């Protein structure tokens, strides 16, 4: 989407982190916004920051795992703003659990939000983007959409699925004439609330580990700020990039899995074993 000013953009997961920062960045560029999240308090905070830039902002409490709610969100955006030109399917959650012990409940919770939320958001908004004569769909995957990681099977599966879904979608829309652009976003470690809000069931690799320990480790390795991530996402949208990687870690991981698709997995095992050794002291 070459020209952003005056466009109407819907964002999921806009109460915090990457979604909130992207909302503010787009407001600065003159976009009207329809912000959604399950966290109304956070939504209102993002809305106040965005409104300072003189754009129109609406807020919508929506659980992206709820298909009907997402379709109602799309209709409400058009009813309130008159049209919609972009959907950013960003809402996401994390879960640390080995396959053997992971509960079906947590696996379904994560998939409902991280995979089905993206599918619902895409399919609910697509007819409206066509009616507007063109637009942009931005789906947030992860570097864990490039590689598998121990204790992150659900998250990796959902993020791989988002990548596959988005790549297929992009090709279909190109065949249909290319008026709707598609971007798949792959952040590395971004300093947000994702690890604090994550569910934790346990893992062989970090026996004795905890939710707090995992969040503390994440805060040490996540190097990029949400504001920097938002600038990279918006630059990718303006350049109509099909794939956006955020951070040096994302670029390195993408390269690693392409150069050494088996070697990286051996490296992961070594790293996990070392972590287990160190945590035993």
User: Which residues are at the interface with ligand NAD (CB under 6 A)?
Assistant: 12-13, 15-19, 37-39, 42, 62-65, 90-93, 113, 140, 142, 187, 189-190, 192-194, 197, 222
> Is 155 one of the catalytic residues?
yes
User: What is the smallest separation between the CB atom of 87 and ligand NAD, expressed in angstroms?
Assistant: 13
Alpha carbon distance 144, 150 (integer Å): 11
Q: Between 11 and 132, name the residue whose CB sits nearer to ligand NAD.
A: 11
Taking alpha carbons only, the member of 193, 185, 195, 198 closest to residue 230 is 185
Q: Between 132 and 246, name the residue whose CB sits nearer to ligand NAD.
A: 246
Q: Between 142 and 183, name the residue whose CB sits nearer to ligand NAD.
A: 142
Q: Between 50 and 190, name the residue whose CB sits nearer to ligand NAD.
A: 190
Q: Between 90 and 132, name the residue whose CB sits nearer to ligand NAD.
A: 90
**Unique residue bearing structure tokens 């590689």:** 147
User: What is the smallest separation between the CB atom of 104 and ligand NAD, expressed in angstroms?
Assistant: 17
Q: What would the two tokens of residue 204 be?
A: 């062989």
- CB of 27 closer than 8 Å to CB of 149: no
User: What is the smallest separation between the CB atom of 118 and ligand NAD, expressed in angstroms?
Assistant: 8
DSSP H helices in the chain? 17-28, 40-51, 67-81, 104-111, 117-131, 153-175, 211-221, 226-238, 248-259, 263-280
Alpha carbon distance 31, 230 (integer Å): 14
User: What is the smallest separation between the CB atom of 190 and ligand NAD, expressed in angstroms?
Assistant: 4
Q: Rounded to an integer, what is the distance from CA 255 to the centroid of its chain?
A: 21
CA quadruple 200, 166, 117, 185: dihedral sign? positive
User: What is the smallest separation between the CB atom of 159 and ligand NAD, expressed in angstroms?
Assistant: 7
Q: Which of 155, 200, 218, 264 is catalytic?
A: 155
CA quadruple 129, 133, 136, 139: dihedral sign? positive
Active site residues per annotation: 155
């Amino acid at each position: 989407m070459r020209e952003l000013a005056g466009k109407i953009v819907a964002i999921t997961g806009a109460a915090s982190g990457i979604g909130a920062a992207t909302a503010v960045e787009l407001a600065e560029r003159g976009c009207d916004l329809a912000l959604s999240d399950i966290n109304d308090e956070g939504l209102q905070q993002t809305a106040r920051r965005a409104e300072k830039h003189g754009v129109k902002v609406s807020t919508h409490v929506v659980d992206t795992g709820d298909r009907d709610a997402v379709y109602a969100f799309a209709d409400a955006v058009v009813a309130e703003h008159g049209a919609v030109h972009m959907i950013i399917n960003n809402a996401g959650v994390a879960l640390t659990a080995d396959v053997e012990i992971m509960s079906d409940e947590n696996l379904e919770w994560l998939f409902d939000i991280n995979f089905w939320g993206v599918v619902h958001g895409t399919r609910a908004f697509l007819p409206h983007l066509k009616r507007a004569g063109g637009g942009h769909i931005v789906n947030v995957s992860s570097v864990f959409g490039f590689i598998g990681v121990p204790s992150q099977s659900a998250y990796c599966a959902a993020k791989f699925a988002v990548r596959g879904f988005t790549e297929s979608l992009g090709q279909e829309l190109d065949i249909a004439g290319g008026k709707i652009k598609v971007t798949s976003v792959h952040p590395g470690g971004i300093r947000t609330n994702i690890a604090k809000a994550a569910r934790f069931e346990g893992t062989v690799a970090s026996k004795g580990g905890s939710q707090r320990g995992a969040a503390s480790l994440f805060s040490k390795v996540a190097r990029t700020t949400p504001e920097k991530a938002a600038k990279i996402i918006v630059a990718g949208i303006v350049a109509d990039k099909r794939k956006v990687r955020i951070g040096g870690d994302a670029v390195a991981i993408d390269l690693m899995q392409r150069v050494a698709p088996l070697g990286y997995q051996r490296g992961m095992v070594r790293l996990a074993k070392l972590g287990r050794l160190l945590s035993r002291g």
